[in-house]
Homo-oligomer: A and B are copies of this chain.
Amino acid sequence: MYFSKSFIPILKNNPAEAKIKSHQLMLRVGMIKQSSAGIYSWLPLGFKIMKKIEQIVREEQDRVGAQEILMPTIQSSEIWKESGRYEDYGEEMLRIKDRQNREMLYGPTNEELVTEIFRSSVKSYKSLPQLLYHIQWKFRDELRPRFGIMRCREFYMKDAYSFDLTDDDAFFSYNKFFLSYLRTFKRLNLSAIPMAADTGPIGGNLSHEFIILADTGESKIYTDKRIFEVESETTIIEKSSLSNLRKEFENFYSVTDEKFNKDEFEKSVPEEFRLNTKGIEVGHIFYFGDKYSKPLNTAVDFNGNKEFVKMGSYGIGVSRLVGAIIEAKYNDKNGIMKWPISVSPYDCAIIPMINKNDTSNLEKSNNIFEYLKSKNIDAIIDDTDENISAKIKKFNLIGIPYQIIIGNKSEGDLFEFKEIDGEPQKLNIEEIASQISKAKLN
């Protein structure tokens, strides 16, 4: 792909309206464009990143045995009246009247709808557990949308739902998602810590938020630094293995603001391990038993008895993660963003110095591009006539993790190659491809 042909509208300066660095960067390099308050269009660069995140989220849901479905964005108010949440939800719910004057709404979450699907499909406990998820646009009519896609109105979310016969089975399902979340965030190169959390309008009494540390975060967190050492590598999808993993995390004090208790914090965390900072919520899981299955009369037959199913729900903010990764990985002091290669819009940027009447560097770039392509490495060539330092500055912001710079100094078969925040090396194209491929595998 040539940069000149791509739809990447770069701004010269940070837009004044953006207050946090993810919002600034996303507008600056043309990842998104606001269409109205708290509502954004995703342009090719941002879209590619979000799609790669979505695919990682999907694979890690599938890996714990969840099945993908897709519920609509517009729901009838009827099931929300059955559950009792229609009034509760307040003004954040976007309420709509259709042409027949029926009360509809744009789903902010899907507990009711998925329960309705389950109750009309599953009759026997033998079909349990069922883990269903979908990745769909949601709408929450925030009074004051801000921070770009971090607190917007229309957002892209993965939400999963589990259905089990007993509490014990349901905790097993809960723990599967617990593990799948750790795996997901690891593949995104984020350290997300699970923290005991309030359940809010979803309900129930067991809940964890997954939080990544960031100064710009909206959640205050209190944790024991040793929690970062807990490893999930050896955990398998089996009851006791999963339950041990959760215990290992829960050994360490780790809560959000609403659950904070100063005495407890100081009693259970030695001073040198105390961490009191801010974070961004990227995932939230809930166990709420029969809170929805009971009012929605959703039960299975178990030896002749009607048992209300035990449910949990499990959310990941897919669009929000794009911003969260920027908050974690963008150094706005030196103007360098670095996407994890797993979600980077391209694997490598080819940045030639282009002189008028001399197409030799562009030709070299084309050859490099074709070679990388043959190795399954996706590159973009900056074929514009900007000067080389402006190009590098631009690509430092775009954040593709590898750069090949083709200046006048390039000699024979060797090219200047660097990781975006590293030292330049002189390498031949085979060595370059092998370094990038290795990084992609990890």
| Residues of A bordering B, CB below 8 Å | 4-7, 9, 30, 33, 35-37, 39-44, 47-48, 50, 65, 67-76, 78, 91-92, 94, 96, 98-100, 102, 104, 106, 113, 116-117, 120-122, 126-127, 130, 132, 137, 139, 141, 143, 153-154
Alpha-carbon separation in the docked complex, A198 to B2 (Å): 37
Residues on B with C-beta less than 8 A from A116 are 35
- Asked if A154 and B72 sit within 8 Å, CB to CB, the answer is yes
Partner of A76 from B35, B73, B76, B102 at Cβ < 8 Å: B35
A9 touching B122 by the CB < 8 A rule?
A: yes
Task: Give A143's nearest chain B residue, CB to CB.
Answer: B99
A36 to B76, Cβ gap below 8 A? yes
Q: How far is the CA of A73 from the CA of B132 in the complex (A)?
A: 24
Contacts of A94 in B (CB 8 A): 74, 96, 98-99
Given the known inter-chain contacts A39-B74, A96-B94, please indicate yes or no for A117 contacting B33, CB distance below 8 A.
Answer: yes
Say how many copies of this protein the assembly contains: 2
- Cβ A42 vs Cβ B30 within 8 A: no
Q: Are B44 and A67 in contact (CB under 8 A)?
A: yes
With A113-B35, A120-B33: A47-B73 Cβ-Cβ less than 8 Å:
no
Most buried by B among A68, A113, A132: A68
B143 touches A73 (CB 8 A): no
Assess whether A7 is in contact with B141, with CB atoms less than 8 Å apart.
no
Chain B residues whose C-beta falls within 8 Å of the C-beta of A44 in the assembled complex: 67-69
Q: For residue A130, which residues in chain B have a CB less than 8 angstroms away from its CB?
A: 7
Interface contact B75-A35, CB-CB below 8 Å: yes
Is B9's CB under 8 angstroms from A104's CB? no
Distance to closest chain B CB from A105 (angstroms): 10
Nearest CB of B to A163, in Å = 10
Closest 6 CB pairs of A and B: A9-B121, A36-B76, A42-B70, A41-B71, A91-B99, A44-B67
